[in-house]
């Protein structure tokens, strides 16, 4: 790993480092770092460069120190190499890695730490979207229904007889014999996939639960998750490539935000009245709150990245030709 970085250093103009704080099942805290850069052949390199215990307070100074140590160990303290740090939206990460907030002017230790920063901070797009959808879900009082669906899925996962009974009704209703999917609570797309599959298997699930004498979802709860799935399907399509390890993704952020907003506006305008429209309205409002113009559309970093993307150049050129003719 170090040899790869060392050999690439002579041609490096910039690197991107992603940091994440997490806790193991035994309750131990860790901090991990991955490094991404384009080598001289314009091939994306992606590697885990560190994962170490992180006991004690996870305050701004501690996070700053960890980041500085890793950058130093990788020998990237070179003025010619621009460093970008990606993190989630955690308050301490934002405070430690972002620009120096004005409210730190009386905190000498913190001010000294943040003034040493040799990087530019970028908020993780996927985590910001996760928070946006989570905010909307709470406003829609959908958490209870999603938990109910998760519990139903868990029953089929642990009970062989329940799965066999479900397969019988899949055949009876001529529904694809797909397994149900259990969500991962930290990933909105896994939640979407769980609900999408659940809706696909709706009639088989209703029939199986009726036979087993188990209470299922109410009519209103089915409508809620059907609207939820309909709205999130387009977002899932637009964001499928945002977690790519094979190519840079910063250039896609502005176009994806634009497409998501446009898609939600179309749903609000054209879809029949129901839960889906209400969810789309609330989600659009929260996207505008989280992905503000000042942070994204007015940012030179995002705009330049978008304009330099060859794939997007073709898209803009096509639009220009259409407008001309």
Condensed to tens digits (0 to 9), the pLDDT of residues 130-164 reads 999 999 999 988 999 999 999 999 999 999 999 99
- CATH number of the domain that 52 lies in? 3.30.420
19 in any annotated domain: yes
316 in any annotated domain: no
User: What tokens were used for 314?
Assistant: 């073709």
Q: Do 115 and 133 lie in a common domain? A: no
Q: Do 300 and 167 lie in a common domain? A: yes
Cα distances (Å, whole numbers) of residue 172 to 152, 175, 198, 261: 20, 8, 17, 40
124 has a pLDDT exceeding 70: yes
State the helix-helix crossing angle for 219-239 and 275-290, rounded to 10 degrees: 40
Q: Do 151 and 93 lie in a common domain? A: no
Q: What is the pLDDT of residues 304-323, one digit of tens each?
A: 999 888 776 555 444 444 44
109-113, 115-119, 212-216: segment of lowest average pLDDT: 109-113
Q: Do 206 and 265 lie in a common domain? A: yes
pLDDT in the model for residue 313:
58
Residues 6+ apart with CB under 8 A from 178: 197, 200, 201
pLDDT in the model for residue 118:
81
> pLDDT averaged over the chain?
87
321 in any annotated domain: no
Residues 6+ apart with CB under 8 A from 57: none
User: Whose CA is closest to 216, among 127, 151, 159, 292?
Assistant: 151
3-17, 106-120, 266-280: segment of lowest average pLDDT: 106-120
153-157, 218-222, 243-247, 253-257: segment of lowest average pLDDT: 243-247
286 phi/psi in degrees, rounded to 5: -70, -30
Range of the domain at 270: 128-308
pLDDT in the model for residue 36:
94
Q: What is the pLDDT of residues 278-305, one digit of tens each?
A: 999 999 999 999 999 999 999 999 999 9
147 in any annotated domain: yes
User: Whose CA is closest to 214, among 155, 172, 158?
Assistant: 155
pLDDT in the model for residue 325:
43
Q: Do 116 and 202 lie in a common domain? A: no
Share of the chain above pLDDT 90, in %: 62
Bridge pairing between strands 14-23 and 120-123: unpaired
Q: Do 149 and 238 lie in a common domain? A: yes
251 in any annotated domain: yes
140-154, 163-177, 220-234, 263-277: segment of lowest average pLDDT: 263-277
Q: Do 134 and 119 lie in a common domain? A: no
179 has a pLDDT exceeding 80: yes
231 in any annotated domain: yes
315 in any annotated domain: no
Q: Do 84 and 155 lie in a common domain? A: no
Query: How many domains does the chain contain in total?
Result: 2
Q: Which of 67, 92, 123 is the last residue of a domain?
A: 123
Cα distances (Å, whole numbers) of residue 310 to 196, 252, 317, 321: 34, 11, 10, 17
pLDDT in the model for residue 99:
72
Cα distances (Å, whole numbers) of residue 111 to 88, 103, 121: 22, 10, 16
Q: Do 154 and 290 lie in a common domain? A: yes
Share of the chain above pLDDT 70, in %: 89
Q: Do 117 and 204 lie in a common domain? A: no
Q: Which of 123, 144, 164 is the last residue of a domain?
A: 123
324 has a pLDDT exceeding 70: no
190 vs 322, higher pLDDT? 190
pLDDT in the model for residue 319:
46
Q: Do 138 and 278 lie in a common domain? A: yes
Q: Do 108 and 175 lie in a common domain? A: no
CA 142 to CA 148: how far, in whole Å?
Answer: 10
320 in any annotated domain: no
């Amino acid at each position: 790993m170090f040899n790869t970085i060392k050999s690439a250093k002579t041609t490096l103009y910039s690197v991107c480092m992603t940091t994440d704080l997490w806790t193991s099942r035994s309750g131990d805290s860790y901090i991990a770092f991955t490094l991404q850069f384009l080598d001289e052949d314009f091939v994306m390199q992606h590697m885990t460069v560190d994962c170490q215990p992180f006991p004690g307070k996870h305050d701004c100074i501690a996070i700053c120190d960890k980041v500085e140590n890793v950058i130093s160990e990788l020998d990237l303290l070179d003025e010619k190499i621009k460093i970008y740090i990606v993190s989630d939206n955690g308050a301490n990460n934002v405070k430690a890695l972002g620009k120096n907030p004005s409210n730190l002017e009386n905190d000498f230790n913190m001010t000294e730490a943040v003034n040493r920063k040799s990087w530019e901070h970028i908020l993780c797009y996927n985590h910001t979207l996760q928070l946006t959808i989570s905010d909307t879900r709470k406003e829609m009082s959908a958490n209870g229904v999603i938990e109910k669906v998760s519990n139903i899925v868990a029953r089929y996962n642990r009970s062989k007889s329940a799965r066999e009974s479900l397969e019988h009704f899949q055949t009876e209703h001529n529904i694809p014999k797909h397994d149900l999917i259990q969500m991962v609570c930290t990933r909105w797309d896994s939640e979407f996939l769980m609900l999408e599959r659940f809706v696909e298997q709706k009639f088989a699930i209703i029939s199986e639960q009726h036979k087993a004498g188990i209470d299922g979802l109410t009519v209103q709860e089915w409508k809620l998750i059907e609207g939820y799935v309909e709205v999130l399907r387009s977002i899932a399509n637009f964001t499928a490539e945002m977690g790519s390890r094979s190519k840079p993704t910063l250039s896609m952020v502005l176009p994806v935000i634009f497409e998501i907003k446009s898609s939600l506006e179309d749903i609000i305008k054209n879809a029949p009245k129901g839960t889906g429209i209400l969810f789309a309205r609330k989600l659009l409002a929260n996207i505008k709150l989280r992905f503000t113009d000042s942070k994204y559309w007015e940012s030179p970093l995002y705009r330049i990245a978008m304009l330099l993307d060859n794939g997007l150049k073709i898209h803009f050129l096509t639009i220009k030709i259409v407008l001309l003719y």
